[in-house]
Amino acid sequence: MMKTQVYLPQAELEELHRIAKRKKRAVADLIREAIRAAWLRAEPKGPVALCSGQLRGTSSEHDGAFDEP
């Protein structure tokens, strides 16, 4: 990990400190999390779909999802 410096308005920094204290987390951790959520590719969570086409029907009809109409 590398160190960097960020300038924030005083009010935003104070609010960040309040949130960090309430959540019992470091301000730097909150900033890293926000950067990942807003700008970087999110890590996949849970199952990943294998279908690239449009699904028809509901999950109860999954056996026929790719049948021709």
**Tens place of pLDDT for every residue, the chain, 69 residues?**
899 999 999 999 999 999 999 999 999 999 999 998 888 876 667 776 666 667 666 666 666 666 766
Is residue 15 within 8 Å of residue 30, measured between CB atoms?
no
pTM: 0.58
Residue 16's nearest CA partner among 32, 30, 34, 35 is: 30
Amino acid at residue number 52: S
